[in-house]
Structure 1
Amino acid sequence: MAGISESSILISHMENIEVWGHDMRTQFCEQVVHGTLAGHPVLLVTTGIGHDRAGLCLRGLLSVYHKSTREILFIGTGGISPAKGGIVNSDNCSAVSPAAETETTLIGDVCVSAMAANWDCHQCSWPQRVESACGPLPCHMFGRADLFGDWGCMYITDAALADEVLEASQTLDLPKPSAALRETIDHFWHGMSVGTGEPYSDHLRSNPRIFDYTECAEATSNTFWVGTPYDELGRIYVADIINSAFHGDLYTKAYIPKRTLSSPRTKRDTVSFSAMEGAGWMEVIALEEVYLHYDPIPAVNIRGAADYVTPPLQRSKNGNWDEMSSYMESLSGGDNLTVLGYGFAIETTSQIVLNLFQHRSALLMDGASPRSNVRRRVGR
């Protein structure tokens, strides 16, 4: 499954293609393409943009194809935190994170996760609005099922499919950004370095990397939010859902993930991917398992970073941290950082999926068996 246009590269690698388009069985999906990928039968679906479209599309598909659906791999693009743990910390705004100790992110980075947090699942108070880019947002009550209902805030499935994707990707070298995209990335980090006084530009990676489900997740929202406090809130919710997964029954009794947590996650060691579909389609899986008693379907969310969710920061005369307004355009969808980043994120996520199916084919040729499907409930 994918949002609009994210399926283009995978379609180019498919064989025996049959395009079904808008038929009555899948009327809520943008496009449905049946074919084979590296010799494996696949249904490549374009959901359309947004929480609701993704959920409606998957519900329509499963009403017809549930018994024949082996797994769900969702790929898409989104905005990424500029650094793992952020650049500023609202608990101490006296300084930014030291460049030498900060893992900055790169356009094209990918999050492979079995979870999604509904970023909109909170209460925010206008009178407590922030005055600095380092200030915490006055938003609370995330995860309160008594207020937002069951299956309204957190979506957690077993990590078997995510583990398989990550294992297959261990030797995968993701491509470098093009020269044009690299120039815009460097321009962004030059602004961040000048504005903060920390030489982040000296510590950038050349190639994208893959973040796993112990350090990243999608923070789903139907709002294209841009801003440092918003990102911090997203990282808080990502930390909450990761901790809930690893300390709940699903990851301690039902399925033991191959990756572990050495300590609870916080906003200082997570990466948030801002996107619009994850909580929508994962909610459908959860509700069908709980209320319709459908067999659980293994699923994974593969998100590629198309842009940064915050502009570069600078210290203002009053001592607060401000976001550089001159860089806001680069986060609005009209310049090279967003346009080129979007295409590059599609490329990196598609390579991960294609590599997975090629890896499975290689295992079959060697007489080995790909992973068995572990079917577990999606948690709230």
Structure 2
Amino acid sequence: MDGKDYNKLLEILIHGNIDFIAIAVSPWHALGIDAFLYELSDRLDRKIKGVIIIEQHSGNYTLNEGNFYSNSFADIEYFSNESQSNNELTLSIAFYKTIKIIRGLFNIIHEKKTKKNKTIYLVTPLWVNISFIRYFCKKDISNRYKPVFILVDEGLGTYLSKKVWKLVDKKQNYSIIKTVKQDLLNKLSIDKRTTSLLRFLKCVELNERFLFKKSIPLKINSNIAENYKKIINLQNDLRMATNDSILIITQPFSEKNMMLQKDEMNIMKSLIDYLNELEYKVFLKPHPAEKINKYDNITCPNLIIIKDDLMAEKIIPNLNPNFVIGYTSTVLINSSLLYGITTISLVDMLLNLSNNELLHVSSLEFKKLMGNSIYFVNCIDEIKKLI
């Protein structure tokens, strides 16, 4: 967020008497934020007021105000936060922002002993975004608000182990030296390490509002799930319902160099050909990070490729498919546990064609988390027993 927007947000905090600040990168984050704001408005029994900061993802997602459905129960001012390049975020700027965070944290700890007139909810996906703390370097703000962090669901990553996240860091070539050179705050401010530190210091309240309980296998948080469903049902006019349909959810494995695209496409073509023989109407929803024309060469009279930005979780209750088929997507978790739809994973077929360490470790954890909630098949022929 540039200096102009930062100062504007400071003015809103000082004079606006707001209830929340939220930050989102993906449509799934937007849904989690909407669900919490719906709950908050219902609990306070009034229309709430606040700010949503939209972080622009590096090309994979297009997030805008249209992804949020809180307007009926919240007055929202939106900010767009463009990612800064390595050249734009100099070490001196990062150091200056870090000093503000330290001052803000000191003010929060100092004011914790006194009564605050108002709680402000700082809503972020999965981990704390400690850069929020810099707003509290102003005494006018730290004296006025008591900050409470609300952590909303990130998707599958919410429930994966430290082992998987270490592999992610390894793939991204994470290091402290690289961090300082490139982007101090982007690497350290939104992080499991800072979340753990704030838990240890007990200087701010942290509440998890995840869709599922962290257990093996996963179990749904019923009250939170109901709020997710209520938000999803706000968009119930897609008119996609049809008899004998199947929804296929794909993922960017070849784009992330986890396997060869030809192997990925062979699996998908075999699946679609088989479903076509059974005369199912097949809806294929690619992941936003996949190449836009990736599946155009798959021809099938009953195949519809959904290329718009509509989130799969909003397609499912409108389409009401007989089955959902995919690999390890968050959508499979939700189709099974949130909507009770028969769900099939082809991830074992992928593992036979790839030696990628991250794919293998994360897929095995996915299988443990799902238990018997999803059917796992080793070949297309095994699907015949389920459909």
Whether TM exceeds 0.5 here: the answer is no
TM-score between both structures, scaled by the size of structure 1:
0.22
Higher RCO structure (Cα 8 Å, ≥6 apart): 1
Structure with higher helix content = 2
TM-score between both structures, scaled by the size of structure 2:
0.22
- Rg comparison, structure with higher value: 2
